Structures are given as C-alpha cells and as structure tokens.
C-alpha cells in the first residue's frame, strides 16, 4: 500500500508555505520517517524541498526501489563530496542569495553529519533548526493517515481481548507480551514502534504486573517496567503474574507506518481498594479531558487541569510516575512516531485543531504495588473529538 500522490503533494506544499513565511530557502530532509512522510519512500538518501519549485530525493540505495515508491523526483546521490555542488546545480533559485537560508532537522541529525553538510555547502549558507517546521507540518493528520490509525486501533482491541482470554495466574509478563506481539504480527503489525526522542525506544508497548510495572526506567513514560535485563530496562520481565495485582497493558501497533497507543488495566480477581480508587480517578481525569478536546483548547491547560484533579484526589505524588521519576505530561500526539506534537504539557501552547491525533494517558504509579490507568487516542474534529480507541474501559477482571 503506497501513500497517495496527492498526500505527498499536500505535505510538501504545506512545508513550502512555512518556509516562505519564515524566510527559508529550502529544507534538507534526512531522517527516515520524515523522508517517508515527504516522499512516500524510506530509502537511504536526502530529500531537498525548496521553498518554491520541485523537490528532489537524492538516493544512495536502493535507487531502484526509491524510483518505484517515491512521489518525488528521484536522482542518484552520487559522490557525497560533491553533494553541495549537486544541490546548487539542481536548485539555483534556492542558492541565488549571497546568504542562502537552509533548514534541517536539528533534533535528530547527528552532529557529525551536520558538520559534513556545513563543509560541503557554501560557507555563506545560514543553517537554521527546521525540526519544528517539519514536526508542525506532520502534526495535523489527513483522512488517509487517520484511516491507518483507525485500523491499528482495531488490531489493538483484538490483541487486548485475546490477551484477556489468555492470561492466567503464574504466567510470566514475557509470555503475555509474546502472545500480544504474535497476535499483532499475524494481523499486519510492522513489529516496530518509532520514537523521535533521542535514545528513546519502545517495544510494542509496556506489559507489566504488580511491582515490576512500577519500577522506574529511562523510558519517558509513567510506567517503565522491569524489562529482561539492564541492556533493555523497560517493559516485560520474567516475573510471574499474580492474582489481585494490577496488570498494565500499554500497547500499540504500527499499520502502514502509523501507530495507535492505548492502555487498559486488568486484574486476576479483585483489585485492592486503594488501587481501584486511583484507577477511578484516572477515568475521571480522562472524562474531564474529553470535555475540553475541541478546537481552540490550549494543549498545556489539559495537563494543568489533570494535575489539579490528581491533587484534589490526594494522589498528586503518584500521578504519571512517582517522586523524581514522575513525567511531566498528560498526553502526546501520535502518528508515524509515538511522540509527536502536540504534547499535553507545560510550555506547549498549541491550540488544538482539527486533524490532530492525541493519546491521553492518566496513570498512577505505586512503588511495590503496581500501576493503574487508562489511555485513549483521539482525533480532534471540527466540533470536538472522535475516540479512535475502541477497546472497552474499566478494570478488566479475569
């Protein structure tokens, strides 16, 4: 399934409009996901999108496959040492100025490679950070993109229901995660969940139970998980699942590059009353958030509102992690990556607008006991929202 040509054309036009507004002569795209977004292909190379005119995708390998997949003109990269001359020859208008302004993705571009670009292009070139330029272009999803996320949501629901029928006392977290991954893969999950954040990785999601789920990790989320070793210190471990403890299934899958993100809390038998109270508060927070999921709402206000509700419920210390390991957000955009804009956090003053897709995930962490919470993904519409997550809510009792 290839990306429709009109999708690529619209994305490029929106980026070019932003370049013109900001006085940027062109944008050099280097990261795989961004290459796919703007060309429809993910072969090794660089795409140059001028503020005006036709982009070119310069490919090292595979040139043949890029030519088959890309909706942008494909040219061989050739000698990298000549790349600056190649760009100037293809885009004389962009380099006509005595001080051309070029943007690239400073948030993901390795310093070493950036320094090579600086060496290869004219010394008068002014480089600017184009990461927000690109991310804000990707922030609003088309009907094509939302359709892929809807399909991923259907698979996540099927995997959840299969897991609920499969879980039994004494089963390890790893066995449960393996079952979920098998279900996903057999239905078309790519097997990878991409993140843009530096050194951030994700493995289908976080499946953990009891104390192991509440163990903190480097992963920038409210529940890290024990993991299998210090080499991959997150998500599922070999801990046996016990009755009466919360089982957190924070899972997603990738369909045509697009991801869904959802969390459900399960329990074999009855959940402890204090943990049930915390779970009830997480649902109350998500219901209150839904009331504000509409165009014009400022993203950070949803985080502040959730913080206040957690404080009023006496659970502020456990909200989105515990103590020094608390994360400072309520939700995040999703799309080709799991950590897209907008972020529901302090400092993100984006007004919500139709086409944004946001995962909202109020959770409470109790060291030694577990994590409870819920997460749904939503599409912002002209009049409010559409809940893309279709899985049943409430504590799922096994």
Give the domain-ending residue among 75, 103, 138.
Answer: 138
> Do 128 and 144 belong to one domain?
no
Read off the pTM: 0.96
Residue 196 sits in a domain whose CATH number is: 3.90.230.10
Q: CB–CB of 245/209 below 8 Å?
A: yes
How far from 249 is each of 40, 100, 210, 293, 303, CA to CA, in Å? 32, 50, 12, 24, 22
Give the domain-ending residue among 117, 138, 159.
Answer: 138
How many domains does the chain contain in total? Answer: 2
pLDDT in the model for residue 204: 87
How far from 92 is each of 17, 25, 89, 95, 114, CA to CA, in Å? 19, 11, 6, 5, 22
> Do 168 and 80 belong to one domain?
no
> Do 245 and 335 belong to one domain?
yes
Q: Please, which residues have CB within 8 angstroms of residue 364's CB and are 6 or more apart in sequence?
A: 278, 279, 281, 282, 310, 315, 318, 319, 371, 372, 373
Q: CB–CB of 175/184 below 8 Å?
A: no
Give the domain-ending residue among 110, 138, 166.
Answer: 138
pLDDT in the model for residue 1: 59
Q: How far apart are CA 278 and CA 21, in angstroms?
A: 47
> Do 238 and 297 belong to one domain?
yes
pLDDT in the model for residue 2: 85
Give kind and range of the element (H or E) at residue 138: helix 131-139
CA triplet 98, 45, 41: central angle to 5 degrees?
Answer: 120
Residue 103 sits in a domain whose CATH number is: 3.40.350.10
The residues with which 46 forms a beta bridge, in sequence order, are 58
pLDDT in the model for residue 34: 98
Q: How far apart are CA 313 and CA 218, in angstroms?
A: 28
Domain with 60 in it: 5-138
Q: How many residues are there in the chain? A: 398
> Do 181 and 293 belong to one domain?
yes
> Do 265 and 377 belong to one domain?
yes
Q: Please, which residues have CB within 8 angstroms of residue 30's CB and are 6 or more apart in sequence?
A: 46, 104, 105, 108, 109, 113
Q: What is the mean pLDDT of each run of 10 residues along the chain (398 residues)?
A: 92 98 98 98 98 97 97 97 96 93 98 97 96 98 98 97 98 98 95 94 92 94 93 96 98 95 98 97 98 98 98 98 95 98 98 98 98 98 98 98
């Amino acid at each position: 399934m290839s990306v429709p040509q009109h999708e690529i054309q619209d994305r490029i036009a929106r980026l070019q409009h932003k370049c013109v507004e900001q006085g940027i002569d062109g944008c050099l795209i280097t990261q795989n996901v961004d290459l796919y977004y703007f060309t429809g292909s993910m072969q090794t190379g660089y795409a140059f999108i001028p503020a005006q005119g036709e982009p070119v995708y310069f490919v090292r390998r595979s040139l043949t496959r890029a030519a088959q997949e890309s909706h942008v003109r494909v040219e061989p990269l050739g000698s990298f040492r000549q790349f600056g001359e190649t760009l100037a020859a293809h885009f004389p208008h962009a380099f006509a100025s005595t001080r051309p302004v070029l943007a690239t993705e400073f948030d993901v571009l390795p310093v070493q490679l950036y320094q090579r670009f600086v060496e290869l292009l004219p010394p008068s070139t002014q480089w600017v950070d184009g990461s927000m330029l690109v991310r804000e272009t990707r922030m609003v999803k088309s009907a094509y993109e939302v359709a892929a996320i809807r399909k991923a949501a259907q698979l996540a629901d099927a995997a959840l229901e299969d897991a609920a029928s499969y879980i039994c006392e004494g089963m390890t977290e790893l066995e449960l995660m393996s079952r979920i991954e098998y279900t996903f893969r057999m239905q078309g999950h790519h097997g990878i969940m991409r993140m843009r954040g530096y050194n951030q990785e994700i493995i289908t999601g976080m499946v953990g139970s009891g104390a192991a789920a509440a163990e903190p990790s480097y992963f920038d989320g409210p529940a890290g998980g024990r993991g299998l070793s210090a080499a991959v210190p997150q998500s599922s471990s070999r801990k046996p699942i016990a009755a009466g403890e919360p089982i957190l299934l924070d899972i997603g899958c990738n369909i045509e590059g697009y991801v869904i993100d959802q969390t459900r809390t399960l329990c074999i038998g009855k959940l402890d009353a204090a943990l049930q109270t915390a779970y009830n508060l997480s649902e109350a927070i998500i219901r209150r958030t839904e009331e504000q999921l509409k165009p014009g709402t400022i993203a950070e206000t949803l985080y502040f509102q959730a913080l206040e509700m957690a404080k009023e419920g006496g659970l502020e210390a456990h909200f989105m992690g515990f103590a020094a390991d608390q994360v400072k957000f309520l939700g995040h955009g999703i799309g080709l990556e799991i950590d897209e804009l907008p972020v529901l956090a302090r400092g993100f003053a984006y007004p919500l607008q139709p086409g944004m897709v946001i995962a909202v995930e109020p959770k409470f962490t109790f060291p030694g006991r577990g994590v409870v919470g819920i997460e749904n993904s939503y599409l912002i519409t002209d009049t409010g929202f559409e809940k893309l997550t279709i899985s049943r809510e409430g504590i799922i009792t096994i």
